[in-house]
């Protein structure tokens, strides 16, 4: 880590972020960071507890003179997305994130940074540890597993929190205040196929799609970015006539990340190798032109494989797979008719795995409207069932219904206008924030979300803006000073 990160202002926040990023904290692998937070709370002498689902709650009394203000829940999630470039040698389970300063930004060396949602966590830690920041009674809620199912938020039971206001510190544009978000559901298709022995006079080759930007499957889905699984499938579809046989497919890594890379091992008749190579080059040129503006570093590579395949998919299963993926919707499904510029419903065709006779296709479907979410999920089910795959829905979570009349929204909007001489952008987002889920057990809690500017979340290009983080910190402190009194 570049030690000068610890010298950035505000020092308390950046030092807590550096300490946090030294602890492995991938989704569903949060044991170490949970203990880290428990130790942090206990060291401060604050009431610290872990609920049955393993969320951490730390409570801090109000500073003198603010005891009569409404209790505020400060909420962020502990887990981060683990993504790295293929050529980056890094073990997320044992190593801390290697951060450095790049101009006006903090980023990581070939991996995700963890600013989503580590900067929110670090800000809350800084308030808990402070002795000179005015604030009302605080309940710090650190949830687990936000990125792969929101199981922490879903498992939080009523009765643990008394706060009347919740500040979720998990958005990625410092000019925005979020008052709503999308819900989501995991759609998974599985199938099997009969493996066949390869024919004589064939050659094993590897087809690779890489160099895409990827990104957050909610916040970035409207940008028209390339999806490695769809691009790879298009190349395979265009080369049916060359009698290729697929040995394996490995595309994408996480449901909530737009897939950046895909690799296919296939077998090609030696007599058709040159014609196949020419066709791949032709279609690759076409695709790269289409994505030149948004994904200028896209590469589609074909080379002789360093392994020799011994088994491949049978032809019927291969045709079914490629046509099913081609037909499966990816990207924006519907824009909101009520909020200009908001993606209402989308799907991310996130992962495709084919090997050893087994097929698995994983999607994340999002929508601000429950009926629209299920409409798209059923469309995907129908597509995959036509290919004779089993389809499972799992991990469904609700959206967060926007409330333009929210009292805390009014407080934040006024403070923002006074501090920065302009109105904030009050929005709903297409990402999955935890507010809607938390509201099921705390329906009277007034919720709002905001945060510093982060770009490239869920990808190795993730970076956090330094000046924006400073702005976010000052804004947060002013909000805490202006929390209304209890009724």
Q: Does domain 3-181+399-481 have CATH number 2.40.50.140?
A: no
- Position 450 pLDDT exceeds 90: yes
Helix (H) / strand (E) containing 344: strand 343-355
**Catalytic (active site) residue 146:** yes
Q: What is the pLDDT of residue 473?
A: 98
Q: Which residues pair with 196 in a beta bridge?
A: 312
Active-site residue among 30, 79, 116, 446?
79
Dihedral, 30, 370, 256, 58 alpha carbons, nearest 10: -30
**Angle ∠(462,467,468) on CA atoms, nearest 5:** 65
Same fold, 3-181+399-481 and 185-397: no
Q: How confident is the model at residue 388 (pLDDT cuts 50, 70, 90)?
A: very high
Q: What is the pLDDT of residue 339?
A: 83
**Catalytic (active site) residue 418:** no
Residue range 335-354, pLDDT digits in tens: 999 888 899 999 999 999 99
pTM: 0.79
Given a contact cutoff of 8 angstroms between Cβ atoms, the answer to whether 204 and 304 are in contact is: yes
φ, ψ (nearest 5 deg) of residue 377 = -60, -40
Q: How many CA atoms lie within 13 A of 25 on its CB side?
A: 31
Stretch among 131-135, 232-236, 307-311, 404-408 having the lowest mean pLDDT: 307-311
- Position 132 pLDDT exceeds 60: yes
CATH number of 185-397: 3.30.70.360
Q: How confident is the model at residue 2 (pLDDT cuts 50, 70, 90)?
A: low
Q: What residue spans define the domains of the chain?
A: 3-181+399-481, 185-397
Q: What is the pLDDT of residue 308?
A: 86
Q: What is the pLDDT of residue 250?
A: 98
What CA–CA distances, in Å, run from 228 to 36, 65, 233, 262, 391? Answer: 37, 56, 8, 6, 22
Burial class (CB in 10 A: 0-12, 13-18, 19+), 334: middle
Q: Work out the end-to-end distance of the chain between its first and last CA atoms, rounded to an integer number of angstroms.
A: 47
Given a contact cutoff of 8 angstroms between Cβ atoms, the answer to whether 138 and 71 are in contact is: yes
Q: What is the pLDDT of residue 93?
A: 96
Residue range 38-94, pLDDT digits in tens: 999 999 999 999 999 999 999 999 999 999 999 999 999 999 999 998 889 999 999
Look up tokens 């797979």; give the residue. 321
Given a contact cutoff of 8 angstroms between Cβ atoms, the answer to whether 175 and 188 are in contact is: no
Q: How confident is the model at residue 199 (pLDDT cuts 50, 70, 90)?
A: confident
- Position 1 pLDDT exceeds 60: no
Q: How confident is the model at residue 487 (pLDDT cuts 50, 70, 90)?
A: confident
Given a contact cutoff of 8 angstroms between Cβ atoms, the answer to whether 13 and 26 are in contact is: no
Q: How confident is the model at residue 3 (pLDDT cuts 50, 70, 90)?
A: low
Active-site residue among 146, 295, 362, 461?
146
Please name which of 256, 246, 290 lies closest in space to residue 147, comparing C-alpha atoms: 256
**Long-range CB contact pairs, 453-456, < 8 A, 24+:** 453/172, 453/173, 453/174, 454/115, 454/116, 454/119, 454/172, 455/105, 455/172, 456/213, 456/215
Q: How confident is the model at residue 149 (pLDDT cuts 50, 70, 90)?
A: confident
Given a contact cutoff of 8 angstroms between Cβ atoms, the answer to whether 113 and 1 are in contact is: no
Given a contact cutoff of 8 angstroms between Cβ atoms, the answer to whether 187 and 236 are in contact is: no
Residue range 272-291, pLDDT digits in tens: 999 999 999 999 999 999 99
Q: What is the pLDDT of residue 401?
A: 85
């Amino acid at each position: 880590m570049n030690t000068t990160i610890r010298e950035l202002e505000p020092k308390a926040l950046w030092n807590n972020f550096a300490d946090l990023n030294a602890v492995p904290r991938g989704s569903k692998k949060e044991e170490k960071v949970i203990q880290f937070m428990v130790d942090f709370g206990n060291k401060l002498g604050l009431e610290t507890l872990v609920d049955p689902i393993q969320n951490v709650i730390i409570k801090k009394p109000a500073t003198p003179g603010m005891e009569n203000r409404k209790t505020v829940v400060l909420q962020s999630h502990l887990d981060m997305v683990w993504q790295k470039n293929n050529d980056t040698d890094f073990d997320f389970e044992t190593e801390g994130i290697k951060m450095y300063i790049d101009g006006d930004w903090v980023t990581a060396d070939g991996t995700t940074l963890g600013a989503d949602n580590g900067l929110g966590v670090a800000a809350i830690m800084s308030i808990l540890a402070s002795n000179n920041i005015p604030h009302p009674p605080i309940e710090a809620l650190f949830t687990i597993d936000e990125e792969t199912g929101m199981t922490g938020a879903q498992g939080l039971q009523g009765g643990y929190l008394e706060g009347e206001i919740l500040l979720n510190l998990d958005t990625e544009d410092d000019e925005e205040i979020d008052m709503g978000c999308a819900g989501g559901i995991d759609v998974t298709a599985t199938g099997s196929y009969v493996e066949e022995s390869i024919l004589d006079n064939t050659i094993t080759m590897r087809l690779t799609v890489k160099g895409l930007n990827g990104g957050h499957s909610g916040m970035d889905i409207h940008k028209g970015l390339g999806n490695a699984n769809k691009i790879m499938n298009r190349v395979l579809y265009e080369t049916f006539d060359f009698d290729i046989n697929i040995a394996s497919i490995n595309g994408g890594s996480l449901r909530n990340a737009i897939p950046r890379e895909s690799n296919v091992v296939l077998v090609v008749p030696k007599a058709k190798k040159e014609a196949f190579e020419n066709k791949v080059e032709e279609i690759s040129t076409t695709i790269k032109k289409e994505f030149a503006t948004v994904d200028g570093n896209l590469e589609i590579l074909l080379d002789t494989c360093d392994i020799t395949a011994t088994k491949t998919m049978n032809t019927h299963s291969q045709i079914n797979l490629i046509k099913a993926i081609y037909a499966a919707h990816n990207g924006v499904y519907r824009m909101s008719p009520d909020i200009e510029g908001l993606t209402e419903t989308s799907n991310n065709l996130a992962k495709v795995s084919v090997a050893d006779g087994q097929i698995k296709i994983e999607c994340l479907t999002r929508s601000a409207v429950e009926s629209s979410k299920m409409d798209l999920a059923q469309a995907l089910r129908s597509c995959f069932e036509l290919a004779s795959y089993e389809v499972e829905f799992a991990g469904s979570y609700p959206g967060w219904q926007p409330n333009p009349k929210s009292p805390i929204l009014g407080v934040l909007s006024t403070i923002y206008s006074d501090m920065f001489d302009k109105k904030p952008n009050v929005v709903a987002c297409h990402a999955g924030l935890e507010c809607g889920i938390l509201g099921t057990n705390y329906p009277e809690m007034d919720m709002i979300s905001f945060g510093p500017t982060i770009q490239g979340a869920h990808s190795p290009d993730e970076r956090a803006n330094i000046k924006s983080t400073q702005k976010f910190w000052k804004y947060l402190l002013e909000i805490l000073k202006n929390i209304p009194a209890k009724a």
